[in-house]
Amino acid sequence: MPVNLKESWWIRDVEIPTRVVLAPMAGVSVQAFRRQGRRYGAGLVSSEMVSCAGIEHRNERTLGYLRVASDEHPLAIQIFGSEPRAMAEAARMVEAAGADLVDMNFGCPVRKVTKTGAGANLLEDAELAYRITAAVANAVSVPVSVKMRRGIEDGSRACLTLGPRLVEAGAATLTLHPRSAKQMYTGYADHTLTAELVSLVDVPVIASGDITSRAKAEAVLAATGASAVMVGRGAQGNPWAIQEIVDGDAAQPAREEVAAELIHFIRETVRELGERRASGFLKKFYAWYLGHGRFPKPFKNELVQLSSTDDVVTRLLAAAPGAADLLAELEADAPDEEYLLEGMPISIYGGG
């Protein structure tokens, strides 16, 4: 029997309404991206990595990642670092911001993260990883999760030794992307390791890597016994991929629907980041949304050259006039409130 992807499951006392989790992705997982993911069926969404050092030093841009909207829940905020005390303090801030889970990144392969002892470096330092997990789990009342890779080197099985220790330290769930840090995103994700990890721990395991369709999600869940799958790059500018996995609806969106979603995403991102930051941040999304044969390539290139997001919106509406009515529906569903931590710099929330 195929796993029911629309069935809810639990991470300790947090109910996750579907078995699809939207991955935390650096430079992607802004609030607009997370809210969109929830609308299209992701049961759990996550912030991008947040530096515990940035939180500890009250860096204004870092604190901006702790912005939580009422329609994001359940939401995980992911932190990274290599010092147990600082990670515990960051976790307390994450809980205070309104996150439902504190997620820790023990898998990022990027040099600027690993050189600090954080990210994938912790896969080879089980004792430090244990102490960080225990410190964070003891600091908060919400569940703690850990996202990791198989190990640093190709063929590594470090995750199978580390995983049970992290659960012993207090992790309530584990996410495994069974590529090595050295692989980055090349090759394939070896989900036989995911199945082994599931057999070793008594907490839910989320399977990450190469989840690109409903058929693949069902096959991985059936083969591994994992509780959920994590979708990452396939959902960039393509929330319909989440919908296809959750609902089995493989219909391609009309051009008007694509334009409406992109305009809504642009406006939400400007509200969050301000025009100056958002203008540069959004350029990569134009290719993601308008690809897949949805719009001609020259049109995407034209949008990238425009000087303001207002100009981009005007051009999109001219290319797909029917998007206006769909956009009005999307904007009518904006969240009623956002939970803001007292004492944070107000400019974060005013587009500064």
Q: What HEC string does 237-260 produce? A: CCHHHHHHHHHCCCCCCCHHHHHH
Tell me the one-letter amino acid at 97. Answer: A
- pLDDT confidence tier of residue 84, bands split at 50, 70 and 90: very high
Distances from the Cα of 92 to the Cαs of 83, 148, 330, in angstroms?
A: 14, 22, 33
**β-pairing, 50-51 with 75-80?**
parallel
Buried b (16+ CB within 10 A) or exposed e, 171-186: bbbbbbbbbbbbbeee
Q: Look up residue 13 and give its two tokens.
A: 């006392």
The confidence score (pLDDT) of residue 190 equals: 96
By CB atoms closer than 10 A (0-12, 13-18, 19+), residue 234 is middle
Find the helix or strand (DSSP H, E) in which 32 lies.
helix 31-39
Q: What pLDDT was estimated at residue 59?
A: 82
Residues 143 and 172 sit within 8 Å (Cβ to Cβ): yes
Residue range 251-291, pLDDT digits in tens: 899 999 999 999 999 999 999 999 999 999 999 999 999 99
| Whether residue 25 has pLDDT greater than 50 | yes
C-alpha 119/C-alpha 112 separation (Å) is: 10
Q: Is the pLDDT of residue 339 over 60?
A: no
Answer yes or no: is pLDDT of 310 > 60: yes
Catalytic residues: 108
Q: What is the pLDDT of residue 1?
A: 67
Query: Angle between the 283-290 and 255-273 helix axes, to the nearest 10 degrees?
Result: 160
The whole-angstrom distance between residue 155's C-alpha and the CA centroid of its chain comes to: 26
Asked whether residue 350 carries a pLDDT value surpassing 50, the answer given is no
Domain ranges, ordered by start, for the chain: 9-247, 255-348
Residue 344: predicted pLDDT: 45
* Cβ atoms of 100 and 136 closer than 8 Å: no
Res 104: pLDDT: 98
What is the DSSP-derived secondary structure letter of residue 344? S
Beta bridge partners, 21, equal 44, 230
CA–CA dist 280, 302 (Å, integer)? 14
| DSSP code for 118 | -
Helix, strand, or coil here: 210?
coil
Q: Whole-angstrom Cα distance, residue 344 to residue 106?
A: 28
C-alpha dist (Å) from residue 294 to 195, 254, 319? 37, 8, 12
| CATH topology assigned to domain 9-247 | TIM Barrel (3.20.20)
pTM: 0.93
Give the 3-state secondary structure of residue 329.
Answer: helix
Q: How confident is the model at residue 335 (pLDDT cuts 50, 70, 90)?
A: low
Note the pLDDT of residue 262: 98
| Token representation of residue 62 | 């870092």
Q: How many residues does the chain have?
A: 352
Question: Token pair of 344, please?
Answer: 């944070």
Which pLDDT band holds residue 292 (cuts at 50, 70, 90)?
Answer: confident
What is d(CA 18, CA 5) in angstroms, rounded to the nearest whole number?
A: 6
Separation of alpha carbons 162 and 238, rounded Å: 34
Output 142 or 333, whichever has higher pLDDT.
Answer: 142
Is residue 193 classed as helix, strand or coil in its secondary structure? Answer: helix
CB 87 within 8 A of CB 104: yes
What is the CB neighbour count within 10 angstroms for residue 316? 26
Average pLDDT, the chain: 92
Render pLDDT for 38-58 as a digit per residue (tens, 0 to 9). Answer: 999 999 999 999 999 888 888
User: For residues 171 and 147, is the Cβ–Cβ distance under 8 A?
Assistant: no
Task: Give the phi and the psi of residue 78 in degrees, each rounded to 5.
Answer: -95, 130
Side chain identity at residue 26, one-letter code: A
